[in-house]
A = this chain, B = another copy of it.
Amino acid sequence: MNPPLFTESFLLPPGFRSAGVHAGIKADPAKSDMALIVSDVQDTVVAGMFTTNKIQAAPVKMGIETCKTGRARAVIVNSGNANACTGKQGVLDAQEMAEKTAGLLGLSADEVLVSSTGSIGKPMNMPPVRQGIAMLSEALSAEGGADTAKAIMTTDTRPKMCSTTIVVDGKTVTIGGCCKGAGMIEPNMATMLSYICTDAKIEAADLREALKTAVSRSFNKISIDGDTSTNDSVICFANGGADNDSLNPDHPDWVLFQTALNGVIFDLAMKIVWDGEGMTKFIELQAQGAVSDQEADKALRAIANSFLVKTGMAGTYPAWSRMVDVLGYCGVDIDVDKLSIWYDELPILIDSTPALPDAEALKKILHSNRYTVRLDLGTGGAGEAVLYTCDCTEEYVRINMF
């Protein structure tokens, strides 16, 4: 098979329309704050993955129920207020958003998903939200992808989009996606919203499995600050318009479809890391030699969530010694005499003894804006993992102080 080619756009497949507008939730009129994505095809299926946080924003609770049915045709999104920790009124507000959107689109309320992102614990300001829904229903367009990607941003510095097309059964299948997220980001999702639209024909259950696989390798492998939000949602619509034979694991092009979906979602996840609040460096952490993949993953998350490691990465402090410190307290099986660490391919520590690498070579890596740190936990086990993270700078603190 030919590998899919990816473009930095939120390409809407035929049968989808979307829009993004400034409704007035954010004070700055230059910043759009509401978005709407609609599938015009009756038989559209949906799959969704949501935060694992026990505290779930009102729209997330509704979305989980809707996605169980596998049926939805639209998602209405606001940025600027997460509608989380807002009590009973928050539930009523989210319901009203779904109902009002459904009314204008001729849908039933249970076909409309709702997403909110922004500050937690503030009551929704509904008058601009109501106005925004009306504006969006007028602005819907087949070319609305970029506007949508912009409208869902909060502390993001740029919209995040990725699309691809593949050929299945001789039919062109488009997968277009966008996402937002820059802080309060850890695995198991984050203050992270992502919307994927495809015209592939696929049953809801198969779409759910494909989405789960793609998310496990992407959004669930990134960490900005270790904080898992109340609102994370990844929603994937498939409207079947490409009219391919229905995709499932027995279809000859299933791997191609999964690869394409993985690619779009992985690219979106990496864009989140590259736009991490205040970040200046993209770090790929790899663990090997753990007793299990779970232990390897646990070690990397502890490292990625260490204040000292992340602030060290922001400068030129060779944070490997702080990583060793984390390995010692994070509760994962290690052999304290057989730890090894490489920065890119440069050995730093071998069998727990400093390798005293060439200072210039190490300096060059520490000054670059992207490098890999590989850690061997020394147990001789086959457990391994990867995690994508970034440094923690003074700018991160400034962004989150107020």
A residues apposed to B, CB below 8 Å:
52-56, 84-88, 119-123, 183-184, 186, 188, 225-230, 305-308, 311-312, 314-318, 320-322, 324-329, 334, 336, 349, 352-354, 392-394, 396-402
Decide if A55 touches B402 in the complex (CB within 8 Å).
no
Decide if B397 touches A311 in the complex (CB within 8 Å).
yes
* Contact of A307 (CB < 8 Å), options: B88, B226, B317, B353: B226
Closest to A329 in B: B228
- Roughly how many angstroms separate A354 CA and B89 CA in the complex, as a whole number? 11
Q: For the complex formed by this chain, how many copies does it contain in all?
A: 2
B residues in contact with A54, CB < 8 Å: 327-329, 334, 336
| A interface majority secondary structure | loop
Decide if A328 touches B55 in the complex (CB within 8 Å).
yes
- Roughly how many angstroms separate A320 CA and B120 CA in the complex, as a whole number? 9
Decide if B121 touches A321 in the complex (CB within 8 Å).
yes
- Roughly how many angstroms separate A290 CA and B353 CA in the complex, as a whole number? 44
Decide if A325 touches B229 in the complex (CB within 8 Å).
yes
Decide if A315 touches B352 in the complex (CB within 8 Å).
no
Decide if B308 touches A400 in the complex (CB within 8 Å).
yes
Contacts known (A85-B354, A334-B54, A354-B85); A325 close to B397, Cβ less than 8 A: no
Decide if A352 touches B87 in the complex (CB within 8 Å).
yes
A402 to B: closest C-beta gap in Å: 5
Given A120-B324, A227-B325, A316-B401, 14 further pairs, Cβ under 8 A? A53-B328, A54-B329, A121-B318, A184-B325, A225-B307, A226-B307, A230-B325, A230-B328, A305-B307, A307-B392, A312-B401, A314-B401, A317-B400, A394-B394
- Roughly how many angstroms separate A317 CA and B401 CA in the complex, as a whole number? 6
B residues in contact with A305, CB < 8 Å: 226, 305, 307
